[in-house]
Chains A and B, each alone.
Chain A
């Protein structure tokens, strides 16, 4: 180790061996076991998410399609429903002032007469 120049572009085998020995640290097997367990744990977690995503994707698509269908149906029913006839609206408006009907009652009347 001492004979080699600090400028040498080749690794110093003696110094390298000393460094490896000093830096190996305690219980290398236990360290490896802990690391492998950590990697296995995180990959298992990812597999679970992948499985969940695979399971959920078609169901989310189905739910979206069902929601779109229901929305479409609601819009279609709304626009296809006949509006209140002008006469019944006029009658409702011409009711005597003494009988004050709430706006809710008027709407119920309009809707019932519209059927």
Chain B
């Protein structure tokens, strides 16, 4: 079933159509939540509760507009809210799954190191830049879609992406050179 049919049905309260749409966009939702929260358990909880909120608010969804932008906006807002609430805590541990990884063979270890560095780099970015970077480079969203998700002007999104990329390249450059060698 195509996305337009699913969104129309979902907006009329069809839970199966809504479930299908969620399945299609859930991994992108998880990546956005994980980029913001950097903790897999918290990210999964945020996605789950935001998805249920989306279902309860489905009557307010306009099927003529992009479902993924609407859904990801709810996810991003939920993750950003949770992040703000958590920021009052003193320490922010790296995500458990990164810390608990076992020793891997050489090539995989290098890749894992690159991922670790990437996660550390993300941690240094302001959370809105993180969301913009992930949506733009990893999920293929346009600047205008991200502007709709974050409710900021398009120019601000361009600035977020620019600064985030520059910071990430600076952080990742030594690890990439290492991998190339």
- A contact set with B: CB distance below 8 Å: 1-2, 6-7, 9, 11-12, 15-26, 28, 31-32, 34-36, 38-40, 42-43, 46-47
Given A11-B136, A24-B27, residue A34 in contact with residue B15 (CB < 8 A): no
Given A6-B166, A25-B40, residue A18 in contact with residue B115 (CB < 8 A): yes
Choose among B19, B111, B162 the residue that contacts A39 (Cβ–Cβ < 8 A): B19
- Chain B residues contacting A42 (CB-CB under 8 Å) are 52, 55-56
List B135-156 residues whose CB lies under 8 Å from chain A. Answer: 136-140, 143
- Chain A residues contacting B173 (CB-CB under 8 Å) are 2
Q: Which range holds the interface residue count of chain B?
A: 35 or more
What residue of chain A has the Cβ atom nearest to residue B137's Cβ? A16
- Chain A residues contacting B30 (CB-CB under 8 Å) are 23-25, 28, 31
Whether, in the assembled complex, B119 has its beta carbon less than 8 Å from a beta carbon of chain A, the answer is yes
- Chain A residues contacting B158 (CB-CB under 8 Å) are 9
Whether, in the assembled complex, B18 has its beta carbon less than 8 Å from a beta carbon of chain A, the answer is yes
- Min Cβ gap A69→B in Å is 36
Judge whether B51 and A35 touch: CB under 8 Å: yes
Q: In the bound complex, what is the Cα–Cα distance between A15 and B130 (angstroms)? A: 13
Chain A contact residues: helix, strand, loop or mixed: helix
Q: In the bound complex, what is the Cα–Cα distance between A6 and B161 (angstroms)? A: 8
Q: In the bound complex, what is the Cα–Cα distance between A31 and B168 (angstroms)? A: 28
Judge whether A15 and B115 touch: CB under 8 Å: no
- Min Cβ gap B51→A in Å is 6
Given A1-B172, A39-B15, residue A24 in contact with residue B136 (CB < 8 A): no
- Min Cβ gap A35→B in Å is 6
Q: In the bound complex, what is the Cα–Cα distance between A7 and B140 (angstroms)? A: 16
- Min Cβ gap A43→B in Å is 3
- Chain B residues contacting A35 (CB-CB under 8 Å) are 22-23, 26, 47-48, 51
Ordered by A's residue number, 24 sampled pairs between the chains whose C-beta atoms are within 8 Å are A1-B172, A1-B176, A2-B176, A6-B166, A9-B143, A11-B137, A11-B140, A12-B137, A15-B133, A15-B138, A18-B118, A19-B118, A20-B31, A23-B30, A23-B34, A25-B97, A31-B47, A34-B48, A35-B22, A35-B48, A39-B51, A39-B52, A42-B55, A43-B15
